[in-house]
Amino acid sequence: MLYLIYASKEAAIERADEEGKEIGYGYWVDGQGTRWLTYPNETADHMWALDVTDYDLDESEESSTVDHYTPLPVDHYTPLPEED
């Protein structure tokens, strides 16, 4: 797997949103349904890892990917947001 690491959850979600729009997911077309291909996970060092294995990456992003990260321990996970 390939990951991009972000300093904030918001920045990681912004990139996930961009990919969801490019794919044409229902959330972006009709305002309901799937929004993201992947959702970021918090890392042990309080950064945010986004699985971009199946994303269309630009050259800068490709050169910034990592193949692993240390996840936040299970008892500290941030729950996924509830979708309307």
Predicted TM-score of the model (pTM): 0.85
Which has more pLDDT, 81 or 51? 51
Number of H helices, E strands in the chain: 3, 3
**How would residue 80 be classed by pLDDT, with cut points 50, 70 and 90?**
low
**How would residue 74 be classed by pLDDT, with cut points 50, 70 and 90?**
confident
- Measured at the CA of 5, the angle between CA 10 and CA 72, to 5 degrees, comes to 85
CB 23 within 8 A of CB 33: no
Give the containing element (helix H, strand E) for 15.
helix 9-23
**How would residue 83 be classed by pLDDT, with cut points 50, 70 and 90?**
low
Q: What does the block give as tokens for 68?
A: 């692993």
Phi and psi torsions of 81, nearest 5° = -70, 150
The predicted model gives 48-72 an average pLDDT of 97
The average confidence (pLDDT) of the chain is 92
